[in-house]
Structure 1
Amino acid sequence: MNTSTDLPDIPLPPGIRSRYVDNINGLRMHVLEAGFETRGRPCLLLLHGFPELAFSWRKVMPALAEAGYHVIAPDQRGYGRTTGWDANYDGDLNSFRLLNLVRDALGLVSAFGYASVDAVVGHDFGSSVAAWCALVRPDVFRSVALMSAPFAGPPALPFDTADAPAKPAPEDPVHRELAALPRPRKHYQWYYSTREANRDMHHAPQGVHDFLRAYYHHKSADWKANAPYPLKSWSASELAKLPTYYVMDLAKDMAATVAEEMPDTVAIAANRWLPERELAFYSAEYERTGFQGGLQWYRCGTSGAFVAELQTWSGRTIDVPSCFISGRQDWGTYQRPGVFEAMQSRACTQMIGCHLVDGAGHWVQQEQPAEVSHLLLQFLKQRADCDIR
């Protein structure tokens, strides 16, 4: 892997700098930073998802810094210019489990000299990390903004089983049923857990740049068929209603799936939220690193290997102020039936805002950065009011 001195500059807006922080839970962490000019500011931590980078926060960081915050956005473990992680498919998954990602976030906050941050903000898979940060260390992460991926709470422990016959954990039939549909399908998270997934995307026939262009387009509001609604159940017949970037055709890999929705040259030229110059940075980084680091996060989830550890917090809720922000055209809000509703009714006890932003699909902070910045600052003011009361 290249050293930092070999890497090209990042096309950042004024007021954001790139730097490295050593010895963060075994990582040399690459961080984007805004609002660093003066000391003593309250801190915000921004956590990206897949397949993104700290760079995905470039459009909201200046507004948050201008409002008086010190804003920190790392390339998370497995991504970008952060090093110290193992990209080997056969390596130990343990370092990519959710609680170690929380430890990464905690270490970074501490390295910058903060005992707490005003908010941790997470998008996509970063939303899961942010949720667990707030659940496990509410003293440090004093509020949480979840974006594009709602949180249902920790997994439940088996209950009232002392005098009942032991029952083996039931196999989830949904994957077998998806494969048996008249149009055979498979779920993307289980595909992402296969050995082939990284190779399929890293060596996509269309190249990494065009793969990412099609992938980002397909999940954005620019793809006009994104008109999400709640699904009734976690069943093959319901999941089959999801777009192919979530529930794929059984015989196709992700590169072939999104290639069918590649925008034409006119649409690419007209794209203002992800122009070619900015996409070129993403594609260069993923050409260099591959995708396996991010895919390891999915494998931690689908393997079930770390559920017992997370059950330590069974029954606990997120009790710090919270909000949810997603694109109105984002299927991510509904991809797990019932979770959006459970987040609001049970998992978060102080949810003071739940917003679906029109004109945004999955990449909400890139597609509609002004509205997302406004909603985040509104939330931060509301959470401060909660502290006063």
Structure 2
Amino acid sequence: MKKFLVLIASVLVMGCKGDNSNNLEEVSNSETDSIMEEDFIPDSILGVDKIKFNIEEANKLAELPLNCIETEYPNKLGQTLENADAIGEPQELHPAFYGCFDWHSSVHAHWSLVKLLKQFPGLEKEQVIREKLKKSLSEENIKSEVEYFNRKESDSYERTYGWAWLLKLAEEVKTWNDPLGEEINENLQPLTNLILQRFQEFLPKLNYPVRVGEHSNTAFALSFAYDYAEATQDQELLELISKRAKDFYLKDDDCPVSWEPGGFDFLSPCLEEVDIMQKVLPKNAFNLWIEDFMPNLKNEDFTMEVGEVSDRSDGKLVHLDGLNFSRAWVFYHLANKYPQEFSHLESLANEHVAYSFPNLVEDSYEGGHWLGSFAIYALEKSKGKE
């Protein structure tokens, strides 16, 4: 019955918007959600202090992608070979995204550098970063990446995690008011278009969502693709993501959060679902939905123990540091967007970040080649009301 009410609430709010009902961001900020939420932001954060995301930390974080985007080996290609001629060196196959151990980690390493440049003008190695981005994301290199994706056996290559991070990179350069950003955006556009096409072809065919805590998690991909669609005002993609998210998750009840984390998780299956649903549902509908899906999330004493890492030199076990960051960005997002209901999650987010953040810079390559991006995204979400 409650799921029916969620659907009705969603429809009623959309109806109030007339022809603009497809603009999901506008819907979620409709007059029905007009409580002065700023009044509920706490004056101070209880518990663990928030990590300061300042230029000092940014300089340290920039070292992680700088140290790996041109590091070709070790390398995990994740390649399906159609014939012997398909074998090649990583830099030959992926001239833009050959470093950082695997393709998707290289993509979000490049995203990290763009994000840090945008947010912190005057980085110590700003010029070095610019030169590396210009070299790596050249028109010729991106053309070769497109050619790889168009290989016979590459239809599902990096589906859907790498696709999602490519759109996150595209979103970042499209919103970068800088000559280099404009140049990279133009160079990247053919690959962006290809990934958009892959999403549009694949999502209607996916009968059931993938609910794991690793790369193939559907909710994670939908959430990042939604951000791109919102930033670029791609209404067709917004509508597709909204429909698929509701198809997959609207009827879900009682997410088994006590089963988390799995030993190799870097995403929370429950919280990733929460993240996409708070984007596609207006506030009243989301509140009804969350009462069925994770009813304890609104309790001020809600807690989740941090994912504990036993060996950071193990590429799978160190995933749990990523889990701490990805949980944190969901908590921060909720606390900033709906502080009346979720402000208590900010302290929980701080605890998750505080556990994993001190290990980043001195981490082994197994974590260092990718965890910086997760930390940056979590810290960016922590900065305050959106």
- Give the structure-1-normalised TM-score: 0.30
**Which structure features the higher share of helix residues?**
2
**Which structure features the higher share of strand residues?**
1
- Give the structure-2-normalised TM-score: 0.30
